[in-house]
Structure 1
Amino acid sequence: MSNNKLDPQRLFPADPDTRSVAAKLYETVERLPIISPHGHTDPRWFAEDDAFPDPAQLFIVPDHYVFRMLFSQGIDLNALGVPRTDEGWTERDSRKIWRLFAQNYHLFRATPSRMWLDHAFQEVFGWNTRLSAENADAAYDHIADCLTRPEFRPRALFERFNIEVIATTESPLDDLNWHRQIRDDDWNGRVVTAYRPDPVVDPEFEGFTANVERLGELAGEDTTCWKGYLQAHRIRREYFKSFGATSSDHGHPTARTENLPASQAEDLFQKALTGRCTPEEADAFRGHMLTEMALMSLDDGLVLQIHPGSFRNHSNPIMATYGRDKGFDIPTSTDYVKSLRPMLDRVGLEKDLSIILFTLDETAYSRELAPLAGVYPTLKLGPAWWFHDSPEGMRRFREMTTETAGFYNTVGFNDDTRAFCSIPARHDVARRVDCAYLAALVTSGRLDEDEAFEVAHDLSYRLAKEAYRL
């Protein structure tokens, strides 16, 4: 069995002088608190503080980063315990699921997932041997034993990970019961929500009309009319703010925005309610709602996040059998310059509005996103996201955006994860990559060393806290 102890110099440059500077920078940010302003952890974990059930349920079954790789090599999702929408058979024996994962651990070589998993196994659970078929049961037993202890409960790990604040993401139709339970408890951990209105702003979202009706019931408004629909959003946003929300989040297929006359927007809304929208009209409605949400943000202060460019649920058979978020979301090319202009013509010069842009289209970084964020006071750039949440992706992000947008039109790092134990690993990777990038600037004479220490702190902590108003 091979020792898998993490290299303390990992991700630092090979050049000795630059590596030395990177190590010194990293030493000052390694233990900073974690600001996790956007993610998908389950607030129920922190509300109930029950033990995580077992290693497979913690690391494999809920994590599409893990099971999509295994599925790509012909391993059936049923065998990995991924739940089905029809409640049909999937593997319930977590030890069998774990063994299958361990037998195929080599598939993750050199991927970000491997770095996160190795970090969690070693730093969280003290398992220092590379996972394999031969030690699968021993690793399972070791981690399962840890999970029975109080110090591995969600709240204890939250504190051990040095998380200052974490934001979950909920639909406007969520009653936020788990957030209420956290708020009313005597625990000091800060867990806030974020407003994700996709189910009630996307006419192509399954159950859209019923969702809008439910939105009206929750808000006490008539959402069959345009004014009542918009007012319902305002009411629900305030409700989310009462549970700590500082941001909204919008996962649209494109970055399209519109600034339509009220009568045209209302006509589109009525078509959406009756299921008569063409794909073009549905996209126009989503685009107009981004502008409406930006206007609401001017009133209530929520930071607006736009996560476009994912062709979600690309496989119809997988969507039908397993539902959303099963690893079949695929990046697409995305236009920002023309798409964002209608919204920016309306609100782009507002200094009190904060809009954070993400992309899955790296070709847009230097051509579109950095120039936009480098001039519009409303715009900031979110970090390398999803498929680019990797050492290489983070480095490319800095290389392609810093020359035009600088550091201070970016927002630090967010982990955007459902995998709780990967959070410290992901932040550690980001801090190491940023320190490596800064060190190269120092040794090439482009940045003074004292400035690099300040920027390292800003990228690791301050920018995220300030950008998300946390």
Structure 2
Amino acid sequence: MPLDDDRLFPTDPSVRSLARALFAEIRDLPIVSPHGHTDPRWYAENERFPDPARLLIVPDHYIFRMLFSQGLPLERLGIPRSDGGPVETDGRKIWRLFAEHFHLFRGTPTKLWLEHTFETLFGLDAPLSARTADLFYDRIDECLAQDDFRPRALFERFDIEVIATTEGALDDLRWHRAIGQSAWGGRVITTYRPDSVVDPDFDGFAANLDAFGEITGCDTGTWKGYLDAHRTRRAFFRQHGATASDHGHPTADTADLSAVDAEALYVRVRAGGAGPAERNLFRAQMLTEMAKMSLDDGLVMQIHPGSRRNHSPDMLARFGRDKGFDIPGRTDYVAALKPMLDAVGLEPGFTIILFTLDETSYARELAPLAGVYPCLRLGPAWWFFDSPEGMRRFRELTTETAGFYNTVGFNDDTRAFPSIPARHDVARRVDCAYLAELVLTGRLREEEAAELAGELAYGLAKRAYRL
């Protein structure tokens, strides 16, 4: 059956009517996607996407982690093994297995995104099941063979005004360079993600530091040379459109050591002799160093803490990173961020966007911090909470203290390119429903809600990320 055009709106008729009216005014605004993980190579080469399984299932940890939780081996879903061992390569078999188990996604945002994509992009409004698996596969595969389903055409069909990808500090940005040298007018920018040369627990950290020095011409054997290497790479990323950096740390800890102590710490970390506490202290110091560099070069700083990554060592060994075993953990912000905020938190023209996987921190810590420090903004509900209920909780727990204008709208944070319109559609509906309730309970005027709907969907993200 077709999608319900009133999905995610309240059941109360008066609130639903107003939510519907607010949404009608903003549903077709251009998409600003300031943080995500789509592959810039797609836009550079503009080749057809692979088969439906490799487009929608194999790269999406939301999908295969759920299937794995019900006993389906990742090998049967085509997920590559670290040792190069055999996995399923027949896209149709992978798709049939997925369709047979699609009922597992009932009630999840993944089902919302997929059904939106199936209907609006591929014209499929029948339920996906084992019975309809081949119908879906053939229809999607037929579409993907057409030129208007290539990456650039979809970028334009989705009305994406700008999209930011995320690349590591050692990336040569060749695909961004190719996009910039092409005649295509789509705006695809990069984001500086230095985790591989900041986190001593990152795989190959010592070798990464050597490579960092080679590509920058800086002596990463010294603290000064190491910091210069970051400045050099940040400038290189800015040349390729970057307006932001991104930092994925286990905690939000920051530090502000003296230059002498920071240098001594770096020497121990560089030599591989630092223990767990010193490695964490180094990550904490580097958040403050990155903040200080943002004062100089203007990059907006994003901090994504709290993910206990690769929770299963066995799965990490067998399949590598980013395979669904990253689990949220309790995260402190008030004490953790204080050293950095004491150092640079009151400086003008500086923006830090904070994310969390610990929802208990919204009202207790994050909203009060963002509600007073001029540099702080709250990123939207993230990862496991990129859902209707998660978005609603975010608004309820932060608005009274931080307001709307200390948030940054929505970003989809996705690797699944076809789901981008669906994710923005969900966020816009949830926000319009929340705004409608504020109007009907006397806390907003209707004209204020209409203005806010546009800001949450479009304006806040553009300004926060300096786009």
Q: TM-score w.r.t. structure 1 length?
A: 0.99
| Mapped partners of 1:115, 1:336: distance in 2 | 32
| Mapped partners of 1:124, 1:282: distance in 2 | 46
CA apart distance, 1:139:
0.8
What amino acid is the match of 1:361?
A: D
Is 1:146 matched up with 2:143? yes
| Mapped partners of 2:110, 2:319: distance in 1 | 22
Is 1:346 matched up with 2:343? yes
Query: Which residue does the alignment assign to 1:388?
Result: 385
Q: Among 155, 159, 176, which residue is 2:156 paired with?
A: 159
Query: Which residue does the alignment assign to 1:120?
Result: 117
CA apart distance, 1:84:
1.1
| Mapped partners of 1:277, 1:29: distance in 2 | 52
Q: Unmatched 5+ residue regions in structure 1?
A: none
Q: Deviations over 1:287-323 (max 9, x none)?
A: 0000000000000000000000000000001101111
| Mapped partners of 1:318, 1:182: distance in 2 | 35
Query: Which residue does the alignment assign to 1:282?
Result: 279
What pairs with 1:23-42 in structure 2 (closer than 5 Å)?
Answer: 23-42=20-39
Query: Which residue does the alignment assign to 1:447?
Result: 444
Query: Which residue does the alignment assign to 2:252?
Result: 255
What pairs with 1:121-270 in structure 2 (closer than 5 Å)?
Answer: 121-270=118-267
Q: Among 359, 362, 370, which residue is 1:373 paired with?
A: 370
Is 1:82 matched up with 2:79? yes
What amino acid is the match of 2:446?
A: E
**How many aligned positions are there?**
467
SS in 1 for 2:166: coil
| Mapped partners of 1:84, 1:318: distance in 2 | 10
| Mapped partners of 1:162, 1:279: distance in 2 | 46
| Mapped partners of 1:188, 1:263: distance in 2 | 48
Query: Which residue does the alignment assign to 2:40?
Result: 43
SS in 1 for 2:192: coil
| Mapped partners of 2:396, 2:68: distance in 1 | 33
Q: Among 405, 408, 412, which residue is 1:408 paired with?
A: 405
What amino acid is the match of 2:290?
A: M
Identical-residue share of aligned pairs (%): 67
What pairs with 1:32-111 in structure 2 (closer than 5 Å)?
Answer: 32-111=29-108
What amino acid is the match of 2:268?
A: K
Q: Deviations over 1:258-286 (max 9, x none)?
A: 00111111122111112111111111100
| Mapped partners of 2:268, 2:166: distance in 1 | 28
| Mapped partners of 2:398, 2:257: distance in 1 | 32
Q: TM-score w.r.t. structure 2 length?
A: 1.00
| Mapped partners of 2:348, 2:367: distance in 1 | 18
What amino acid is the match of 1:70?
A: L
SS in 1 for 2:148: helix
SS in 2 for 1:248: strand
What amino acid is the match of 1:406?
A: G
| Mapped partners of 2:396, 2:453: distance in 1 | 15
Query: Which residue does the alignment assign to 1:306?
Result: 303
| Mapped partners of 1:345, 1:38: distance in 2 | 27
Q: Deviations over 1:361-397 (max 9, x none)?
A: 0000000000000000000000000000000000000
| Mapped partners of 1:272, 1:101: distance in 2 | 45
What pairs with 1:306-325 in structure 2 (closer than 5 Å)?
Answer: 306-325=303-322
| Mapped partners of 1:81, 1:135: distance in 2 | 21
Larger deviation: 231-240 or 260-269? 260-269
| Mapped partners of 1:426, 1:177: distance in 2 | 28
| Mapped partners of 2:328, 2:286: distance in 1 | 22
What amino acid is the match of 2:237?
A: F
CA apart distance, 1:85:
1.3
CA apart distance, 1:351:
2.0
| Mapped partners of 2:382, 2:319: distance in 1 | 24
CA apart distance, 1:225:
0.4
What amino acid is the match of 1:29?
A: I
| Mapped partners of 1:171, 1:359: distance in 2 | 21
What amino acid is the match of 2:71?
A: G
Query: Which residue does the alignment assign to 2:334?
Result: 337
